[in-house]
Amino acid sequence: MRALLLALLLLPALPAARAAGDDETPAIQRYLVDVKLGDGIETVRRIYPPASEWPATEQANAGVKRYKLERLTTKQFPRRVETLFLGFKRGRLVEIEVVYDAKKSADQPVEKLAGEYALSYGEPTRSGDRFWWSDGRTVLRVFPAEVPLAKDGDHAVSWRTAVQVFDRELTARSE
């Protein structure tokens, strides 16, 4: 009887004790659109064979070379994706960012996509219209991306749903 009473008294404390431990934080999946963090550049080039040279920019402060892939720069490209950014450091993939096309963004706005990720990873950290999760090693972000449009000679922008997964230790991004 005492054991049962003791178990009933300790039962409410168990979820709080588990919540305080790191082993309750679900691991963020390190892959997106058929590539995963840690892949080498040659692996990525096999998955998305270049049709032309991929434009790249250097992030000197982080030592990351960031490639911009679009449908016309690759022989194969993911459906419903407008732009794919891949960041490499020392030849290894450390960042994947997907900007979805207009239809996918309309079907799955930022808040809806963040809600779907919340089912797997719990309540996100939020700053305005940006959502993110971290397991200490990997960061997942969902946010609106601004896409420039040329309209009647004027410059305009359109908003798209974007998702990014990156290696927290290897990039100099702040949350």
Q: What is the pLDDT of residues 14-59, one digit of tens each?
A: 344 434 444 577 999 999 999 999 999 999 999 999 999 999 999 8
Give this prediction's pTM: 0.81
Residue 151 lies in a domain: yes
Residue 7 lies in a domain: no
Domain range enclosing 109: 28-167
Residue 18 lies in a domain: no
Residue 98 lies in a domain: yes
Residue 1 lies in a domain: no
Residue 10 lies in a domain: no
Quick one: pLDDT band at residue 151, thresholds 50, 70, 90? low
Mean pLDDT of 89-115: 96
Residue 11 lies in a domain: no
In whole angstroms, how far apart are CA 154 and each of 62, 68, 90, 149, 157? Answer: 34, 24, 40, 8, 10
Identify the sign of the CA torsion 115, 120, 125, 130.
Answer: negative
Residue 76 lies in a domain: yes
pLDDT at 62: 80
Per the structure, the count of domains in the chain is 1
| Residue whose tokens read 């250097």 | 58
Q: Encoding tokens for residue 81?
A: 């994706």
Q: Encoding tokens for residue 85?
A: 């950014």
